[in-house]
Amino acid sequence: MLNPEFLISFLFASFIIAIAPGPSNAFLMAQTFTHGKTAGMQSALGFALGGVVHTIFAVVGLSAILKASETAYTAVQYLGAGYLAYLGIMTFKATLSDTNDEQSEDDNSTPSKSSKNVTFQAMMTEVLNPKVALFFIAFIPQFVDTSLDTSTTVQLALFGLLYPILAFPVDCVYVYGGDKIAGYFRSHPQAPIWIDRISAAIFIALAVNLLL
Over residues 122-141, the pLDDT tens digits come to: 898 888 887 788 778 777 88
The answer, yes or no, to whether residue 45 has pLDDT greater than 90, is: yes
User: What is the average per-residue pLDDT within 136-156?
Assistant: 83
pLDDT at 169: 92
Host H or E run for residue 97: helix 70-100
* More confident: 182 or 60: 60
pLDDT at 210: 64
As a whole number, the mean pLDDT across the chain is: 78
SS3 71: helix
Amino acid at 186: R
pTM: 0.71
Whether the CB-CB separation of 39 and 112 falls below 8 Å is answered with: no
Q: Distance between CA 196 and CA 194 in Å, rounded?
A: 5
Q: Distance between CA 185 and CA 146 in Å, rounded?
A: 53
pLDDT at 48: 93
Buried-state track 72-96, b at ≥16 Cβ within 10 A, e below 16: ebeebbebbbebbbebbeebbebbe
Overall residue count recorded for the chain in this entry: 212
The answer, yes or no, to whether residue 60 has pLDDT greater than 70, is: yes
pLDDT at 195: 64
Whether the CB-CB separation of 163 and 140 falls below 8 Å is answered with: yes
Split at pLDDT 50, 70, 90, the class of 107 is: very low
Amino acid at 74: T
pLDDT at 42: 92
